[in-house]
DNA sequence: CAAGAGATCATCT
DNA sequence: GATGATCTCTTGA
């Protein structure tokens, strides 16, 4: 069980998005420890990608994506859903991976009792942040146990044939970038 | 089943 | 003042 560091995220966004599948996301909130297997991701890569928030340039909200890889980018969408992203690529290249779905989510409480979430409760980007209690206090933080949110490689290898790709969701306005197969998922 | 509407607010123009 | 990297519920065939 090995904790992913900035080195893992400081690569091509599409590779990171694909390699995150099957990795284990952890979030510690008070006495509660959440863990879940990442099952769906999307790549948002560069200022030319009209679906990427950075296509409109550097703003207070998006500056974290222009920074070093391995940081957390969280923003509110539709007034009610937090989106969890991991910053990729070197300094000054804006890019991030959106975590769109997790599976086998488990909450371990202080007394070691466990609550298991049904997969259909965590199979959307807004749903998983709600269930795993991931909020904007983590925005702009380093992905690390120090900040209570981190990702582990549990050694399980996902065969290439089990990785599906498709168009990204909810970005019909992005012209020619709309049809890029930059969404990755398993099962 | 597919399609549509409503909820709700930080962010940028 | 408009607009989403969404989700759930309702409607209608």
Count how many domains chain A has: 1
Domain that includes residue A88, residue range: 2-186
Q: Which two tokens stand for residue A77?
A: 């969408």
Note the Cα A146 to chain centre separation in Å: 18
Q: How far apart are CA A83 and CA A108, in angstroms?
A: 23
* CB-based contact A108:A117 (threshold 8 Å): no
Q: How far apart are CA A52 and CA A61, in angstroms?
A: 12
Asked if A78 CB < 7 A from strand B, the reply is yes
Asked if A26 CB < 7 A from strand B, the reply is no
CATH number, domain containing residue A24: 3.10.300.10
Residue A187 confidence (pLDDT): 87
CA distances from A36 to A7, A60, A101, A152 (A): 22, 30, 10, 10
Q: How far apart are CA A165 and CA A163, in angstroms?
A: 7
CA distances from A72 to A57, A151, A170 (A): 19, 12, 21
Q: Which residue is nearest to nucleotide B12 (CA to C1')?
A: A59
Q: How far is the CA of A162 from the C1' of B5 (A)?
A: 36
Asked if A172 CB < 7 A from strand B, the reply is no
Residue A99 confidence (pLDDT): 98
Helix (H) or strand (E) holding A39: strand A32-45
Residue A1 confidence (pLDDT): 80
Over its length of 187 residues, how does chain A's per-residue pLDDT go in tens digits? 899 999 999 999 999 999 999 999 999 999 999 999 999 999 999 999 999 999 999 999 999 999 999 999 999 999 999 999 999 999 999 999 999 999 999 999 999 999 999 999 999 999 999 999 999 999 999 999 999 999 999 998 999 999 999 999 999 999 999 999 999 999 8
Asked if A82 CB < 7 A from strand B, the reply is no
């Amino acid at each position: 069980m090995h904790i992913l560091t900035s080195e893992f995220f400081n690569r091509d966004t599409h590779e990171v998005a694909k390699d995150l599948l099957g990795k284990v996301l952890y979030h510690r909130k008070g006495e509660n420890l959440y863990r879940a297997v990442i099952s769906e991701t999307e790549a948002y890569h560069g200022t030319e990608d009209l679906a990427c928030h950075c296509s409109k340039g550097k703003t207070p909200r998006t500056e974290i994506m222009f920074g070093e890889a391995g940081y957390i980018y969280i923003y509110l969408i539709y007034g009610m859903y937090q989106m969890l992203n991991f910053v990729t690529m070197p300094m000054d290249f804006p890019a991030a991976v959106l975590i769109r779905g997790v599976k086998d989510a488990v909450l371990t409480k202080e007394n070691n009792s466990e609550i298991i979430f049904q997969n259909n409760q965590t199979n959307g980007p807004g749903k998983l942040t709600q269930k795993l209690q991931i909020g904007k206090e983590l925005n702009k933080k380093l992905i690390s146990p120090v900040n209570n949110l981190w990702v582990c490689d549990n050694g399980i290898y996902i065969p290439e044939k089990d990785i599906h790709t498709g168009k990204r969701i909810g970005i019909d306005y992005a012209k020619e970038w709309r049809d890029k197969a930059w969404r990755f998922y398993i099962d």
